[in-house]
Structure formats: C-alpha cells, structure tokens
Amino acid sequence: MSLVISDILNHLHINDINEAFSTGSNWGSSPDTEVKDIFSPTDGKKIASVKFATADDYNSVVETAAKAFKTWRTIPAPKRGEIVRQIGEQLRANKKELGTLVSYEMGKSLQEGYGEVQEMIDICDFAVGLSRQLYGLTMHSERPEHRMYEQYHPLGIIGVISAFNFPVAVWAWNAMLAWVCGDVCIWKPSEKTPLTAIACQHIAQEVFKANNIEEGVSCLIIGDREVGELMANDSRVPLVSATGSTRMGKAVSAAVGARLGKSLLELGGNNAIIITENADLDMSLIGAVFGAVGTAGQRCTSTRRLIIHENVYEAFKQKLVSAYSQIKIGDPLNENNHMGPLIDQDAVNLYLDSIEKCKAEGGKFVVEGGKLEGDAYRSGCYVKPCIAEVENHYQIVQHETFAPILYLIKYKTIEEAIELQNGVPQGLSSAIMTNNLREAETFLSYAGSDCGIANVNIGTSGAEIGGAFGGEKETGGGRESGSDAWKVYMRRQTNTINYSKTLPLAQGIKFDL
C-alpha cells in the first residue's frame, strides 16, 4: 500500500482495523465473528481487516438506535439541521482524503471520488434548509368551528443498505434527510467497500459527540447478505432503503412487505440515449462516452444503449470508435486516466460472459473488449470498454451488465426510438440529444420516456441532488435525495380540532342521545 494511502487511513482514523465501528458498543466479541480482508481493485493490495457482524451484534445496534430515537425525535428540526450542517463542514474539511479513499477502495476515478464526497456535502446543505420547512397542509372542514391539518412525524429507525458503486453518497442521501426528519439510521454498506463507510461513521460520530448527542443516531453495521436479511425482516425498522440489483430489491421488498413495513428501492438501470438526426453530435459524444465508461460502467445510471437515427448512425459510430481509442485506463488515483478497474474478479467474469452472450446472439463488436493484462493491471480487475451493434430484443441487451459494454441500435422515427428506449424491464434514467423542440417535448411527454429520469441534451449519468432520484418498473419506484423525497422518511398524520361547544358529525350524520 502506498504511503499516501497509509497517511489517508491514519487521517480518517482507519488504521489496520480489526473491528468495525458501529456505535461504540462491544463489537465482534462472539466466537462466531468472521474477519475479512478488504482489498483494493486498484492494485490488489490489502487495505485492512474488518470484523463482520453477527446476529447478536445486529440486535445490539438496533437496541442502541431505538433508545437514541426517543431522544433525537424531541430535538427541534432546525437544531437537528444544525448538526447536519456541521457534518457537512467536516466532510468539506476531509473531502480530499475521503474522496481519495473512495477512489482507491472502489476503483472509480479520483475526480469521481471527489465528486461523490461533494454530493454528500450538497445533500447536507439541502437537508439544512429542509430542516426549517418540513411542512404539512391545512384543509377546510365541512363542520363549523373545526380546523383540519396534516403534519409529519419521524418514522423511527431507518435501515440503509447501500451498494459498492457509490459507497458513501447514497448513504448521505438517506441519512441526512432522515436525521433532519427526526429519524435515526442504521447503515449496512456493501461488504466490498466498508472502509469508506467506517470513515464516514467516524466523521458523523465526532460531530454528534461534540453536540452532546448520545450514540445511536448514526449506526454502522458491517456484514454480508445475512445482516441485510435481518434488517429486512425486522419490524423494529419501519423503513428499509435498499440500493442494488433488481434481484436483491425483490427479496428486500418481499420481506419488508410481508411485515407491512416500508421499502425505498433504487435498483437496476438499462439506460439509453437517443441520438436524433437533429443532435449536436460533438456534444452527444461527450455525454455518451462519459455515461458508458464513467465508473467503468458501474453506475446504475450508466449508459448501456445508444439508439441512433439511421441518417447519423455511421458518422456517430465512427466518432465513438475514435473516442474509445483515446480512453486511458489505469490507476484511478492518476488523474490522467479516464477509467479504473471493475470492483472485483466476479465483476470481470460477468463482463466477459456478457460479451460472449452478446456475440452468440449476433452482436457485432466495433470496439473489442477483454481483460487487460500486465503489471499496471496486476489486480486483475481492469477491462477494456467495448461497443457492439445489436438489436434491442437480444436477451443480453435486456439485462443490465454492470460493466463498460455499450450497445448501438439504429432507428428510423422518433416514435420507434422511444419504443426502443422503453422496451426494457428497467426504468431509471434516459436522455435524448436533439435541437428539435418537437422531438424533445415528445420525449418528455406522457407518450415519451417511461423512466424516472428523462434528460434533454445531457446524458443519463450524473444527477443533481435537488431533484428526486429514482426509477420505475424493475428499478423499484423509489425516490431519494431532493424535491419532496423527505416525506418517505416520515409518517403522515391528519388532525382535526373541534373548538366549538357541540359535536357535529361529518357527512351530516345525526346521532342524538
């Protein structure tokens, strides 16, 4: 491990860890505790060892969180917002170190690592303002001298299950909003990227401690699928926010639904950009290439498909081939590189398998893929971004492959393009590149994109925190981050106050004694 990374681990209070940091309670004391080594996909080196939670550890954390909720919910929302503001300031102070660790542990480019931390800072700012406007509504009563209104109360414990590709930002989307709403959080990060989570937990805990807030408002539990299953089946956790594959989301939804709990699901995407004959092809190229190779194709909003008008198809294809020849692949901490590694060997194998399946279905590769070999790629997780000409109905095209494989599809009419765009099981992000107002408005209309996100003249990847983030169909239907996404972390209550001297009933019902 490089000296720079060692210094960063020390700075973030992550020395060769042999225990996970949850709430300060005794962690990993069970003889069943499993210790796992965490390796970087960047260079294949061990970063640290972490103890994974047992069922007893999980229950201890839940009990601590439940106790903390009783006090935290009584603190005025603007005061809770002030604590979130301080967390944002600490994230600003540690942006370089935390962003570098995100890049090293996960494998995304350094600029994307910094960007992820900035996203956390941005959601802190959003949540601070939100803490002063958790508004309800007033309604006119049909009964005289009655007042009706609705208000929102915190739910309780919010379970957050996050994925490796955004190891810290998605937690922040949930936690910062939940905290100003008066909830407490238990975070189960991906077992592939626990160290960035531990760093964030340290930062948050120090702020809570400085404000004399008891432990348990921010809880972290490191574990594998079994811990997630405990959370999904736990009636003490009224809301589980889960980010990951559609398969995982279906399991979480079934478990939470069986106990009539709430789930917020952010699942797979199969995102397309429509390139019309009226598009600015140079601008379209930037959106398409970043969308396809950013984070090595491991974003839920990564561009998987390009639906290109037949009149510009060949010209744009050549632009893509030329651009791909210039992509620099290597150490993500080197800011000259555009693309780092996939997360692990399993991801590499899925990528290679998807290429073979695409060829078997008739896909024609115009930029060949493959695994990169050599000392610079010694972790074994580096691959080539590739491009294939396909038909939208291919089974592999209908499936989300979390890797830099880009599919090209030709179309004739805007109606056909939208049908192709919508013709997959997922419905997260979508985009159209056009300078034609009618094409743009058709794409955004009720007859247009069926995705939760629909963009004009920007790509599918890279959402701002001000808008609600999420998708439809097999993407799960959840909404996180901006707009009124805060409401999912609260329970709605309708109140009616009778300040008259009589008790009239609604609907004119008479009940005299």
Q: Which amino acids are annotated catalytic?
A: 266
Q: Where are the alpha helices (DSSP H) in 325-436?
A: 345-361, 395-398, 414-422
Contact yes or no for 427/473 (Cβ under 8 A): yes
Q: Which of these, 496, 490, 493, 468, lies nearest to 134 by C-alpha position?
A: 490
What is the b/e burial string over 178-210, where b = at least 16 CB atoms within 10 angstroms of the residue's CB? bbbbbbbbbbbbbbbbbbbbbbbbbbbbebbee
Which of 176, 213, 184, 223 has its CA nearest to residue 58? 223
Backbone angles phi, psi at 43, to 5 degrees: -130, 0
In the block, residue with structure tokens 């238990």: 186
- Identify whether the C-beta of residue 102 lies closer than 8 Å to the C-beta of residue 196: yes
Q: In angstroms, rounded to a whole number, what is the distance separating the alpha carbons of residues 85 and 88?
A: 5
Are 367 and 385 contacting, i.e. CB atoms less than 8 angstroms apart?
yes
Strand 364-367 to 386-389 pairing: antiparallel
Beta bridge partners of 48: 38
Are the beta carbons of 223 and 247 closer than 8 angstroms? no
- Give the side-chain half-sphere CA count within 13 A for 282: 0
Q: Which two tokens stand for residue 10?
A: 């020390």
DSSP tag of 477 = S
